[in-house]
Structure 1
Amino acid sequence: MTEADRTETIAPRPQDFPKWRFRMPEEIGVIVALAVMMAVIGVARPRFLNSINLFSLLGNTTFLGMLAIGMVFLLAIREIDLSVGWMFNFSAVIAALLMVAGFDPWLAALAGIVFGACLGLVNGLIAVTLRLPSIIVTLGTYSMFQGLSLVVNHGRAIVPSDQSSSFFWVISYKLFGVLPVAALVFVLLAIAMHVVLHRTRFGYRVQAVGSNPEAATHAGIPTARVRLQTLVLMGAICGLSGTMYLGFRGAIDPNEGSDFVLVVIAAVIIGGTPLSGGHGTIIGAVIGMMIIQVISSGLIFFGIDATWSTFVTGAVTVLAVSLDRLIKYHRTRRAELRRESLHG
């Protein structure tokens, strides 16, 4: 064999390389919907596209958006946590009380995050031990956490007296005068949780359990432990969001968070995470929450009563669920027709 023949044999040929194909992101639908909504409002009300207003929208998305990130993991595993709003509130209340008692605000904030994780652990232990769906468990803990939070704060807003700490300054600081640090943390959290969901063993297990719990069990995945870990993660994210809200606002109202859960679930569904489990999209949840914020802001720019935003959010959620079911039906029907043609 000559040197030329040997080189030809060893060297890869162009057809040996895999063909590169562009894949549209699965969130393209909600991204286009968000862009169209912003364009329509911007054409009618040019001030809407002002950079200050856009960064303000991102800031308003931050705290609820964090909860939506955690909810993606739960829906992906076929679970729903109804107590997220009160875990958010209770964690912030505990952190605020520690600050009032003289603890360093950074340590108090860390304690608030750990406390949120403990609340999630309570939900998880009850759900796993009694083998109950988390939606049933959290229906009860919703009222439990609400009642305990109101008992602890005596039904009053808690305002840390000394807000000269760097904790309050850092959380409320705006980069370049427009981008809140809290919003930057939200974006970094979204990126990190996207990687966790799609690039780690834990994320794989979450989606496997949500896709087919029986098959996951037979494959050796500890489904009970994964459920527990997911609920603890949800609690920790609630604690993080609550303590950051405290640092951003400088106080925590006794009823703050009471109406969060429906908005959070709506954002996740609008973003493309199915209620049937087995799959989740962090990017979609973030875009979904931004769509809700754009709806609320757009109504204000058009001079429409802001109370209509709740109705519009519900309508968009119903539309998103309907489209999801319709797409799944057509995919299933197409697969059935393909099988019939192959066997026919």
Structure 2
Amino acid sequence: MNREDPIIDIHTHYVPNAWPDLAQLTNAEGPWPWLRAGSEHEAMLMLGSNEFRPLRSNAWAAEERLVQMDSDGVDFQVLSPTPLFFSYARNAKEAVKVSSLFNDLALEICEPAKGRLLPFCQVPLQDTDSACAELDRCIDNGHVGVEIGNHVGDRDLDDEGIITFLQHCASRNVPVFVHPWDMPSSVRLDRWMAQWLVGMPAETHLSILSLILGGGFDRLSKDLRLCFAHGGGSFPYWVGRMDNAWHRRPDLIATSEMPPSHYVDRFSVDSVVFDEAPLRLLMDVMGSQRIMLGSDFPYPLGESPAGSLISNAKFLSKEQRLQMLSTNAQEYLGFNPADRISERYTKHATI
């Protein structure tokens, strides 16, 4: 490990290998997520009676994650919740119980890795006070950031309650990772995983646009460290179209202080775009200083080996590659995780 410039993957997920029955925990009817074990190394994530996603034990076993990380040359992973667990449609009391349960399980999953796995928490975002309280509890207990979904029902990220939560994250110096979820379903979108191939990019695009045109960025502190998954979805490709609409239809579109392109320095994106051409576009729009390695590990639509696109992209300079693989993530997290490992070993050595 290069302690000055460790390779950091800021977009991975976890699923615990067991958790209590959520209907009993919340005293509320389902459908709830549960895990149907297949073998020691395989399971099916269920939602009620429906199969949601097949899993392997690298979703919960730190030792297996570390083996893959070492093979890929990744020094640290940020572990975020699988969005299925968000429970935003539940009442606040139920969602608090679910969030606190999975947040505590995340710490257990990360503990054997001795600092190489960095947990992000989830919060009951439908209730601002509860979300802020759970964030505080988790940050005080060892989480280093928070993942939120890109919307709560019909409330997008410019919703006043969500803005208040994001301001609280800024005040506590907590990085926020925004992940698309709860995509619309229709006959057209239910073929070919179109919810993931079309719906997810569109959801992220819409949420970034809501923070712009809804005045969210105009109200939020510039200290907020915000990252959107999957390369910002379709947003980077359509910045020109949005600027054009802002200037030509100000009666409908010019609801922000500045045109959409003005706000690209207010957030970062990950690198899960899979090909050099979109990565080049992403760099042209966002700048190399706002792109971070993300793999979406351990899911099948993720990048493997992690970081291979950045490492092999011929148009990147050495400095740009270093930014995307390491230094941008250090700034986003607010610390160099290698320093924390070094401090831990030094502390134990002096006891």
Note whether the superposition's TM-score is higher than 0.5. Answer: no
Q: More strand per residue: 1 or 2?
A: 2
Find the structure with the greater CA-based Rg. Answer: 1
Q: More helix per residue: 1 or 2?
A: 1
TM-score (norm 1): 0.25
